[in-house]
């Protein structure tokens, strides 16, 4: 990519990022601009970061796109960069400065959660030429289903159908009313989703994987592209401990969410580690999958990288290795 002074970088700034003030953003912009040829663009609407990423991918004048925001901003930038498919050798590299409430993708890459420290780590990576090429997940409408026309969308660390997506939908409703996205808010919505979940004893989701028998009656299905799955404050939560940016996709599912099951698996998640995740009679765990489909008997909430995307009945997932070049 040449020397830093010749590197051309595009900074995508989400002004609504939870943990960065306007003053902090100005400091970060000046720090980056002192090392690279920087253009900063502030997002103005949902989907704007995707549009910016798409323009950067089509340009011959951008070496790197820096996403300053949360996981939603990163997801949009990635989907813009990969609009025409993965091409790590040609496309601009991605860098991330965390500015959201959880920042799973950035933290899974080993970046500090503090945006100022993460900027320092990014500048160090640029000076040493440190980068890696990571796998991504692609979720598409299943051919032959009522969702077949839904376009494919990339995700960086997780997707989910059912219970967890319902929780995210509840959180987003509160955010639209002006509430901040905090970890206590998520915990409260988990409890409310559990109380209101009509299918917690017998789920509606079926996992179909080539060459294996279908798994029926899942209440919860979490697809992971890396570990940890998420964070509760500073505590990492591992739904699929073996998930990795160097492999295909992992899936974790539960076929029951009774009070006893929630107590058991919730405790296991809180105590999870890179060596041990949830396990038990009602738990499903699959590792390093290239392709599989989740079907539901009725429309269920669906999320990708922490963004609620509405209701779906069938989603086909593809794990794509070495899909995106990341400066880290």
pLDDT at 89: 94
For residue 260, give the CATH number of its domain. 2.60.200.40
What tens digit of pLDDT does each residue of 250-288 get?
999 999 888 888 889 989 999 999 999 999 999 999 999
pLDDT at 3: 53
pLDDT at 142: 97
Checking if the pLDDT of 292 tops 70, the result is: yes
**Among 9-23, 97-111, 117-131, where is mean pLDDT lowest?**
9-23
To the nearest whole percent, how much of the chain has pLDDT over 90?
Answer: 77
Domain endpoint, select from 128, 149, 166: 128
Which residues span the domain enclosing 160?
135-321
Domain endpoint, select from 128, 146, 171: 128
Determine, yes or no, domain membership for 326. Answer: no
Determine, yes or no, domain membership for 171. Answer: yes
What tens digit of pLDDT does each residue of 77-108 get?
999 999 999 999 999 999 999 998 889 999 99
Q: 251 and 159 in one domain?
A: yes
Helix (H) or strand (E) holding 189: helix 183-196
Q: Map residue 181 onto helix, strand or coil.
A: coil
Determine, yes or no, domain membership for 152. Answer: yes
Instruction: Report the number of distinct structural domains present in the chain.
Output: 2
Of residues 79 and 233, more confidently modeled: 79
| pLDDT band at residue 244 under the 50/70/90 scheme | very high
Determine, yes or no, domain membership for 327. Answer: no
The C-alpha atoms of residue 209 and residue 89 are separated, in whole angstroms, by 31
Full DSSP string of 240-285: STT--TTS-EEEEEES---HHHHHHHHHHHHT-BTTB---STTEEE
Q: 84 and 179 in one domain?
A: no
Determine, yes or no, domain membership for 202. Answer: yes
The C-alpha atoms of residue 220 and residue 54 are separated, in whole angstroms, by 33
pLDDT at 2: 45
pLDDT at 199: 66
Determine, yes or no, domain membership for 328. Answer: no
Determine, yes or no, domain membership for 1. Answer: no
Full DSSP string of 97-155: EE-SSS-HHHHHTT--SSHHHHHHHHHHHHHHT-EEEEEEEEEEEPTTSTTTTSPPEEE
Beta-bridge partner residues of 237? 230
Quick one: 61 exposed, middle or buried, by C-beta within 10 A (0-12, 13-18, 19+)? Answer: exposed
Of residues 1 and 265, more confidently modeled: 265
Domain endpoint, select from 96, 112, 128: 128
For residue 92, give the CATH number of its domain. 3.40.50.10330
Q: Is the pTM of this model over 0.75?
A: yes
Q: 178 and 118 in one domain?
A: no
Angle between helix 183-196 and 163-176 (nearest 10)? 120
Q: 141 and 269 in one domain?
A: yes
What tens digit of pLDDT does each residue of 153-172 get?
999 999 999 888 888 887 77
């Amino acid at each position: 990519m040449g020397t830093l002074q010749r590197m051309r970088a595009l900074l995508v700034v989400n002004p609504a990022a939870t943990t960065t003030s306007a003053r902090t953003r100005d400091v970060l912009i000046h720090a980056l601009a002192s090392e690279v040829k920087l253009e900063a663009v502030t997002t103005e609407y949902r989907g704007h970061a995707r549009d910016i990423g798409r323009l950067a991918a089509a340009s011959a004048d951008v070496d790197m796109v820096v996403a300053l925001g949360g996981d939603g901003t990163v997801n949009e930038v990635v989907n813009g960069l990969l609009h025409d498919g993965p091409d790590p050798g040609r496309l601009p590299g991605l860098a991330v400065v965390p500015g959201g409430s959880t920042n799973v993708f950035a933290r899974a890459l080993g970046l500090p959660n503090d945006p100022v420290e993460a900027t320092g780590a990014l500048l160090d990576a640029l000076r040493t030429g440190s980068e890696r090429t990571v796998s991504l997940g692609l979720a598409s409408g299943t051919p032959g289903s009522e969702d077949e026309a839904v376009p494919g969308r990339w995700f960086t660390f997780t997707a989910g159908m059912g219970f967890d997506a319902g929780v995210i939908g509840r959180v987003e409703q509160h955010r639209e009313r002006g509430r901040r996205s905090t970890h206590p808010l998520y915990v409260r919505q988990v409890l409310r989703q559990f109380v209101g979940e009509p299918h917690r004893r017998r789920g509606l989701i079926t996992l179909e994987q080539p060459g294996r028998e279908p798994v029926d009656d899942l209440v919860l299905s979490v697809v992971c592209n890396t570990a940890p799955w998420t964070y509760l404050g500073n505590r990492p939560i591992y739904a699929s401990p073996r998930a990795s940016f160097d492999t295909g996709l992992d899936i974790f599912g539960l076929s029951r969410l009774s009070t006893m099951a929630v107590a058991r698996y919730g405790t296991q998640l809180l105590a999870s580690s890179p060596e041990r995740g949830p396990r038990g009679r009602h738990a499903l765990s699959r590792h390093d999958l290239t392709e599989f489909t989740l079907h539901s008997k009725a429309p269920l909430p669906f999320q990708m990288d922490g963004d609620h995307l509405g209701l779906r009945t069938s989603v086909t997932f593809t794990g794509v290795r070495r899909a995106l070049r990341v400066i880290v």
